[in-house]
Structure 1
Amino acid sequence: MEQCLRKRDVVREDRISELPEPLILQILSLLPTKLVIATSVLSKRWRSVWKKVPILKFESKGNINKFAENVSMSLLSHKAPVLETLHLKVSDRCEDVYIGIWAGIAVTRHVRELELDLRFLCGNPVRFVVESPSLKTLSISGGETYGKQNGGYVINVPSLQHLSIQMLKGGYEYCLIENAPELVDANIINVSHTTNETIKGSLESARRLSLDLSPLEIAYPTGMIFYQLVSLEMYTHKVAWWNLLTLMLDSSPKLQVLKLIDHSSHQPKLVSDKKDMDPGKWNQPESVPECLVSHLETFVWTRPDWIREEEKEVARYILRNAQQLKKATFIIDPIEPKRLFRLAKRREMLNELPAVIMASKSCNLVVVESE
């Protein structure tokens, strides 16, 4: 019986080994890198197969020093002509220098997609420079630090198409995008110094933007014009967020889709500033932005807080001035029993919306409750 089982194991191993190498590499790319490296003990033929797998994903568990050593050795041993994807998820306290080393090795391997999920970093303030001619997708998240940290990221990636940056409060302060002329879409969250002159010519090339930024930290005037931007998503929880909206409307002449999202419902892990938001006044643009006159077709506001007068003004302004608007959708939360005091205010606003004289005669106004 034992001999039969051994023969079956040999047959199974031979069947896999006889597959074309590109297919083997494709299969291994679907597995966690830890398991992929473990295949090196199967036989002499498998000893080096893992080194050609184009996708590497590492996640720290347990001893961070052992993890750092394994990642470094694995990257140095990697032999694929092109490293398609490198994902690094570091959940434990980690020295900044390791991140720089790993990213540097990945760049020498012509990495196309780099994802850094960094939760706890320690060490002196550091300036990470991401510079690669081949990188097309870059995702940076986390970056919670111990003590005062004034470091950040400098991105110089001429082929970059997809960018996602999500910093934690108390983490790195800035992200300077110096060169990304091919950028298609970007998601920027909690970065202090992103929307100033340092990114001129970079974010301006994007067709789709998602922004969760404080307008109080933007250097005015920016001088930027987003000529390619057709879709803008903005979160509405930061103090005076409507000022950033004014800036973006004025700077995006071809904008077709505008989505406003209440932060607290969609991103519960990040703290909303609304509780500290003083009553403010929205200063509408001096003249109607070109995008409202000629291009905006879709307006969606998810979970608007219509208790605030300035948010009512934003809704009215867009409806009154978007001449090409085809559909305006307001997605609201059901009123909880303990918050019935809000019901009267909401009904008042819901009655006001249809009464607004809309610039577009063909606009379909929709109000729905979220699930």
Structure 2
Amino acid sequence: MARLSDLPDDLLVKILSYLPTKVAVSTSVLSKRWQFLWMWLPNLEYSNSNDYSSRDYPESATLREIFDRMRSTTLREFVDKNLPLHRAPVIESLRLDLRYRSIKPAVLKRWVEISVSRNVRELEVSYDSKSKNIFPGSFYTCASLVILKLGFVNLMDVPSTGSLCSLKTLKLQYLEYANQGSLQRLLSICPVLEELSVHFSGEGECVKEFTIIVPSLRSLSLLIPNCGNIGGYVIDAPSLTYFKLEDRYAKEHYAKITNVPNLREAYVDVVSFNVKGLIRSITSVKRLTICSQ
């Protein structure tokens, strides 16, 4: 039976890629050969949403010791030291779940910039940026980015001249939009976008009206809560095949769904006064589910 030490480095990195990042890092204490193997990982996940617990610890006393050292070293210090030195030529995915502790926006902005320089393909950021911009200018011209998931961040200073030319999946959850045009400008620089999900927060919402005009879009999910001040919206997506709308805003507002000739499946959960108009605008749909209050 082959021992781990007999396996080539690329296979060991493959094995490490199936482990959580924090566990993969802990293998660096095994030997000199293992010290930097984790730094070739193509997928990275850093989170401060919860602490290490007893169930995270392996049986080995040595590995428990490295976990203790990791706990005593702040996440910021660890990522600041290691992310610029990461050896993988391409970061396939980077997940930053940083909602519950104080990391300055300038620090996160630096991490995003590093990931862009490493041709990141999937980026997920959950962070309460408190009206601060966390995206460098290079982010909006990242040609490698295919999947982008953002939660709670402030979307501001979006350039109209940028180009996320490879972005196909965009998920925006409870963002703070700096102004009325932030969402529109972001969508306008995504020429091949196929999947879009937007969950509005409703609290302190700057977006009163919005228009989604994306010719390449195939799947769209919208959640509009029963708060805020939405005046209405327009959706124009000729390639759309799947549409999910949860419009719970009780006050009267307009909802125009136009130019969706390829729509095949729709799930509509809206207040009663919007139902008839919506149904008339999606006559091409083959499968329709309606929930109305």
Output the TM-score relative to the length of structure 2: 0.74
Could you tell me which amino acid in structure 1 is paired with residue 14 of structure 2? Q
Could you tell me which amino acid in structure 1 is paired with residue 220 of structure 2? L
User: Displacement, 1:251?
Assistant: 3.4
User: Displacement, 1:18?
Assistant: 1.9
CA distance in 2 between partners of 1:252 and 1:54 (Å): 38
Does residue 157 (structure 1) correspond to residue 164 (structure 2)? The answer is yes
User: Displacement, 1:196?
Assistant: 3.8
Does residue 133 (structure 1) correspond to residue 143 (structure 2)? The answer is yes
User: Displacement, 1:78?
Assistant: 0.6
CA distance in 2 between partners of 1:195 and 1:206 (Å): 20
User: Displacement, 1:217?
Assistant: 4.0
CA distance in 2 between partners of 1:242 and 1:251 (Å): 20
CA distance in 2 between partners of 1:30 and 1:117 (Å): 22
CA deviation profile, 1:196-245 (whole Å, cap 9, x unmatched): 46x64xx332100001247964677x6x631111111000312357732x
> Aligned Cα RMSD in Å?
3.4
CA distance in 2 between partners of 1:189 and 1:298 (Å): 23
User: Displacement, 1:47?
Assistant: 1.9
CA deviation profile, 1:314-362 (whole Å, cap 9, x unmatched): xxxxxxxxxxxxxxxxxxxxxxxxxxxxxxxxxxxxxxxxxxxxxxxxx
Does residue 296 (structure 1) correspond to residue 282 (structure 2)? The answer is no
Could you tell me which amino acid in structure 1 is paired with residue 173 of structure 2? Q
**Unaligned 5+ residue runs, structure 1?**
1-10, 144-149, 263-273, 275-279, 306-371
Could you tell me which amino acid in structure 1 is paired with residue 88 of structure 2? A
Asked if the contact 1:233–1:259 (Cα under 8 Å) also holds between the matched residues in 2, the reply is yes
Alignment partner of 2:129: what SS?
Answer: strand
Work out the number of aligned pairs and report it. 255
Could you tell me which amino acid in structure 1 is paired with residue 104 of structure 2? E
- Which residue of 78, 84, 93 corresponds with 1:85? 93
Asked if the contact 1:243–1:283 (Cα under 8 Å) also holds between the matched residues in 2, the reply is no
- Which residue of 212, 215, 228 corresponds with 2:239? 228
**Unaligned 5+ residue runs, structure 2?**
52-70
CA distance in 1 between partners of 2:171 and 2:197 (Å): 5
Could you tell me which amino acid in structure 1 is paired with residue 125 of structure 2? L
Partner of 1:117: 126
CA distance in 1 between partners of 2:10 and 2:278 (Å): 60
CA distance in 2 between partners of 1:261 and 1:81 (Å): 45
Counterpart mapping for 1:46-85 below 5 A = 46-60=34-48, 66-85=74-93
User: Displacement, 1:282?
Assistant: 4.4
- Which residue of 224, 234, 237 corresponds with 2:248? 237
Alignment partner of 2:285: what SS?
Answer: coil
Q: Identify which range, 227-236 or 27-36, moves more after superposition.
A: 27-36
Which of 1 and 2 has greater Rg?
A: 1
Partner of 1:42: 30
Asked if the contact 2:93–2:121 (Cα under 8 Å) also holds between the matched residues in 1, the reply is yes
Alignment partner of 1:157: what SS?
Answer: coil
Asked if the contact 1:230–1:254 (Cα under 8 Å) also holds between the matched residues in 2, the reply is yes
Does residue 167 (structure 1) correspond to residue 177 (structure 2)? The answer is no
Percent identity (aligned): 26
CA deviation profile, 1:131-159 (whole Å, cap 9, x unmatched): 2100111111123xxxxxx7537374110
Asked if the contact 2:90–2:120 (Cα under 8 Å) also holds between the matched residues in 1, the reply is yes
Partner of 2:66: none
Could you tell me which amino acid in structure 1 is paired with residue 169 of structure 2? H
Q: Identify which range, 130-139 or 62-71, moves more after superposition.
A: 62-71
Alignment partner of 1:121: what SS?
Answer: coil
- Which residue of 204, 207, 231 corresponds with 2:215? 204
Asked if the contact 2:108–2:134 (Cα under 8 Å) also holds between the matched residues in 1, the reply is no
Q: Which structure is richer in relative contact order (CA contacts within 8 A, separation 6 or more)?
A: 2
Asked if the contact 1:94–1:121 (Cα under 8 Å) also holds between the matched residues in 2, the reply is no
Q: CA, structure 1 residues 234+34, in 2 after alignment: closer, same or farther (shift >3 Å)?
A: same
Does residue 258 (structure 1) correspond to residue 271 (structure 2)? The answer is no
Could you tell me which amino acid in structure 2 is paired with residue 102 of structure 1? W
Asked if the contact 2:120–2:145 (Cα under 8 Å) also holds between the matched residues in 1, the reply is yes
